[in-house]
Every structure is written in structure tokens, then in C-alpha cells.
Chains A and B, each alone.
Chain A
Amino acid sequence: MDGFLLVLWAVRLLFLGLIYLFLARVIRALLRDLRAAAREPTDRPGRLIVLESPGGEPLAGQSFGLDVITGLGRDVNNAIVIDDPFASADHAVLTYRGRSWYLEDLGSTNGSYINGRRVDGVAAMGFGDELQIGQVRMRLERASG
């Protein structure tokens, strides 16, 4: 077998090897991602119960499971849609960070209220606190159980 052929076959096998190297890297990235996902707590850290909702969206009495970041507002892309004339499209965000809940008002027209007090920027919330957006009142509770 002459030299050229030897090198040619080396190149061909290298090509195949590189495709497999790519696959290996990809699989490594996938596994890392899956492991990270597995480590996430699947339990909801909390829920919001709707106390009062004159507009009917969300329904009074409905309970929403909360994620680490939950958006509230009139826009349908929010996790919790509040269809109230006094709610802004992107009204507020509820986040769970380091064992505590925080509400940030996103510059809404009519403001967000925790236990009757207007939220300016970011404010902490605890279980049992009431949140008012527009005419809708909700209460933050622990996840069931």
C-alpha cells in the first residue's frame, strides 16, 4: 500500500472520528443539561390563591403554582394572566430567590400593592401576604402539603 493511499485512509478515518467527537461533545452537553434539570426542585415553592377577581380572569378561588420566576399582567404570554382594565400588559414579576419571595413592579400604570402598601421597585413577600394588581386580590401560600 503506497503512502498516498495510507494518508488518504487516515484522512477518511479522521473525518469519521471527528463526527464522533462532535457527537461525544454534544452528548456530554446533553447529559450535563439533564443532570442540572434533575437537580431542580420539582415541587413548586409556593402558590398564589385568587381571593377576589371582579373580571373573572383569573377565576376567584383559583390556585396557581408558582415557578422561580412568574410573570403577572394582562398580556397573554404571562404565566398568570390578569385580565383587568387596571392591570398593565406586563405588570409585575414574582421571583423566588434564596428562600424568599420578591415582587418587582415593572413600572405599571396603577402600581402593585402588598397588604395594601404600594410596591416601589422590589419588595419582599411572605406566605400569607396579600397581593393586589388592578382589582384582583391574591394571597401567597405555601405549596399544598
Chain B
Amino acid sequence: MTQDATGMTRETRGPALPRVLGPIRPRPRWVESRLLALVAIALVVGSLSLGATVNGTFRLFDARGLAIYLGALLAAHVAQVLAGRRTDQVLLPTVAMLGGISLLLMQRLPQDLVTQTFFGVTLGLAEVQLVWLLCALAVATTLGIVIRSDSWLRRYKYTWAAVGVGLLLLTFVFGTEINGQRLTLQIGPFSGQPTELLKVILVVFLAGYLSENRALIVEQDTRLGPLRLPPLPYLAPMVAMWAIALGIVVVQRDLGAALLFFGVFLAMLYVATGRLSLVVIGLVLFVLGSALMATLFDHIRTRVDIWLDPFVDPLGAGYQIVQALHAFARGGLVGVGLGAGLPEIGGRPPIPEVHTDFPLAALGEELGIVGVVAILGLFLVVVERGLRIGAAAADDFRSLLAVGLALVIGIQAFIIAAGNLKVLPLTGVTLPFISYGGSSLLANALVVGLLLALSDKGVEPPPLPRVSSRWRRMGRTSAA
């Protein structure tokens, strides 16, 4: 449904179905191929170093797993070449590098941290992660090739919002409780965290809503004393967002998700409207809300106390973060080498839940500050590409969508990395592409796939047209 300047709504004709397959028109992707080659070499060298540390001779640590992964990267690259879309060539290699580092890390940790049985075959930590990585690659590549129109996202924003809220409620009611948090939904043998999917739905809704009402929010005001606020009917969904975020904290005890949702919301609001006052108000509301929560709820207050000084109780409540900080300390500048860190206490890695909550600490110990900064750099690259795609997009919806998706990855990475480094309290979000976790990998792959699809620059500007030339537009129209 579209709304014109006079506020009248019109039914445009029926929804455009996403066009699935365009004509196959292979186009070389040299930049991507060179970058992927570099990724492959780096991962091979990494595997060699891991193998040498663990086995004493220079052999690849898990040649089969690495080969499967590299093969999947090749397949993804070839698929994109064949599809011939002019999509971003940097995103996939960067994500592949992060995924490869994750694979090496999972190979290096004790395999019995996770065991899952698929159809009678029992898989350990690295193998399960490999499976999810392959799925993620498939999802991202497929979306990047197949999605050619965004109307199905653009048009049904309220439907998407409803789906999101529905998922949230479903998890709350039917979810399995782990550590006092109801975050997981279990369907048969598969269990996942719908919050991961929720963040994408949120971005889609906000992109649609903000792009549509952007002009009104920017130009019209309600006056509230000295403050200039957007018109009240438009304020309502935003306040609703704030309430939902706090609700998640209270009901689900998921501090990280609340932080993420609220952060993405405020950032998208700023990008759409350019009004800093809205952001400031949002931040103030958030701080007030959090302070209120902290005083009312003990579990939040404990989290904050542990964050402020974990060394007060290094063997009790502060154990996890203290061990993580010790890992960074042992790593020093260049780390102790893949496979050489994490001295075991009682036969287990010293950091509890290292594969989900603290992969950065493990990498900090084994790859050092140098390694951590590189990984942070890789995340920043993903974010930058997404923002760039947003800035270059043809219209507001796509622009906001790309920006929002980029921020979803970036802010989530920031929140958990900050938690590992005691810059923020520890929360339960995962480090995109590096933490163990199928739902996390799939949701982030969804994001990357959408970004790829949005980055299509369309065909080359045509040569000086000849009378007989004809071409089919395959992508979206916009300036290259």
C-alpha cells in the first residue's frame, strides 16, 4: 500500500512476487576471487599452526573439515559468478574469514562441549559448527542470488511486525528454560533462538516504517515545552519499541537482546531523521529504564556489580569474566599460538561457555591483541560495507534496510566484545559468525544475504545505444 502526499491510501495492483531466477549471465568476480584465495591461504596456515601445536609435526589439524569449508566457499563463489549479479564482492570473503577463524577455534576446543546426533550420526563441536557454517553460506549465497525485489519486505511491514511479536510470545510461552532464561524454542531435534530472527524482522519493520514516515517525522513537530518532538501518532510506535525492549529484559532476562534492539532502533531513527534530539531522548529513556530495572531486579543488579568489579569475587560470581580477562592477559601482544592457550582446570577449559559466550577471550589468548584487533577490523569492514550499500541505495527503504542490517551485526558484535573485555556488562548475545550456534549463524547469514541482494548495482551503464541493441534489466535501477 502506498501513501501519497495528501495522505490518501491507494491499493496498487497485486503484490509483485520475488523474481527467482533471472537469465544466467556469468560475470567474473575478480576481487572476490582474490580475496577468497587469501582467506584460503590464511586458513591453511592457521590450520598448520594448530596442527603443529597439538601434534608436534607440521600437518593440517583437521584437513577434512577445512577442505569441506574451502570447497563450500568455492561453490558459493562460482554460484555468484554464474548468477552474474553485480553484488558486493567484499562481504562474502570477510564473512568467510570470520567463519574460518570460528572453525579453527571450534576444532581446537574440546569436542565434547557439544554433541548432537543427526540421523544416527553423532557429531562433535567442530563438526556441528561446520554444518551450520555450510548452511549459513548456502543461505547467504542463495539470498544474494535469488532476491531481486524487495516489495515483499517493503509492503508487509506490519505483517512482519506481527510475526515478530508472535515469535516472541511463542518463545515466552513454549520456550525451554535454560539458566532462568526462556530463549530457546525446540521443534523436534532442532532448537533455535527466535530472538536472532527477531532482530532481522525488527529492521525490516523499522526500515519500512521510517522510510514511509520520514518526511513527516523530520518536518512536523509536536511541542512539549522546549522540546520539539515528532508528531504524536508517529511517536507511538517508537515508544512501543522502547517498551518492548524493556519488556524483553524483564520477561526474558535477555539484557543483550534488549540492548541490541534498542541500539539498532535509535541508530536507524537517527539515520532516517537526522534529529539528534530524538536519539538523546531515547538514550535518556533507556538509561532511566535501566536504572529502574537495576534497582527493581536483583539479577540485573548482580550483573552490574560483577561488571564493575569482578575481582571482588573471583571464584564465585565473577569467575567467568575474571578467567576471560586472564586469558587476554596471558595472550599479550601476539598471543600464545592457536591451540597453545586455555590451560585446563580440572580437564576443562578455564573459561566456562567459552564456545558461545567468550570466543573472543579464547582468541585473545591464542592470537593476542594483534589478532583481536584484526577480528574487530573484520567486523568493522562488514558494517562499513553495509552502510555503504545503504548510502548508495536507490531509495529510502533500501537505504534504511541496508543500514539497519549492517548495524544489527555491528552492534551485536560490539555488545558481546565489550562484554568480554569488561567494557560493558556481560550479556548473552553471540559474536556473529564466530560464536558457536546454529540460529546465530543462520540469522546473520540471512542478514548478509539480504545485504548482498541489496548491493546489486544493476547492469553496467549501457554503451552508447545502437538502434538494434536491447538488453534486459536484471537488477534494480540506480546509479552505479
Contacts and interface: CB of A to CB of B under 8 A. Distances in A.
Interface in A42-65: 56-57, 59
A25 interface: yes
A10 B228 CA distance: 60
Contacts of A34: 388
A57 B464 contact: no
B470 A18 contact: no
Given A22-B97, A68-B480, A76-B12, A16 B58 contact: no
Contacts of A71: 473, 477
Interface residues of A, number: 53
A26 B39 contact: no
B479 A14 contact: no
A26 B480 CA distance: 20
B479 A40 contact: yes
Contacts of A95: 461-462, 465
Contact of B41 (A18, A59, A97): A18
B31 A19 contact: no
B467 A25 contact: no
B64 interface: no
A16 B465 contact: no
B115 interface: no
Interface residues of B, number: 66
Interface in B342-396: 367-368, 370-371, 374, 377-378, 381, 384-385, 388, 391-392, 394
Interface stretch (A98-106, A109-117, A126-134, A137-145): A98-106
B25 interface: no
A67 B476 CA distance: 12
B4 A93 contact: no
A70 interface: yes
B12 A83 contact: yes
Interface in B36-65: 38-39, 41-42, 45-46, 48-49, 52-53, 56, 58
Contacts of A15: 42, 45-46, 49, 338, 367
Contact of A18 (B4, B13, B38, B94): B38
Given A29-B31, A68-B479, A12 B5 contact: no
B282 interface: no
A11 B98 CA distance: 19
B377 A23 contact: yes
Given A12-B334, A29-B90, A106-B473, A19 B97 contact: yes
Given A11-B49, A97-B462, A98-B464, A25 B478 contact: no
B9 interface: no
A19 B272 CA distance: 35
Contacts of A30: 90, 381, 384-385, 388
Contacts of A81: 12
Contact of A97 (B42, B49, B334, B464): B464
A143 B38 CA distance: 46
A40 B151 CA distance: 28
B68 to A, nearest CB: 20
Contact of A26 (B35, B469, B477): B35
B458 interface: yes
Nearest to A95: B462
B58 A11 contact: yes
Given A9-B337, A27-B381, A93-B473, A16 B149 contact: no
B16 interface: yes
Contacts of A13: 334
26 contacts: A8-B53, A11-B52, A12-B49, A15-B49, A16-B368, A18-B42, A19-B371, A19-B378, A20-B374, A26-B381, A29-B35, A30-B381, A40-B479, A57-B2, A57-B10, A68-B479, A70-B477, A76-B12, A77-B149, A77-B150, A77-B476, A95-B465, A97-B464, A106-B472, A121-B467, A121-B468
Interface of A: 4, 7-9, 11-16, 18-23, 25-27, 29-30, 33-34, 37, 40, 56-57, 59, 67-71, 74-79, 81, 83, 90, 93, 95, 97-98, 102, 104, 106-107, 120-122
Given A30-B90, A106-B472, 6 more contacts: A22-B42, A22-B93, A56-B10, A57-B12, A71-B477, A77-B150
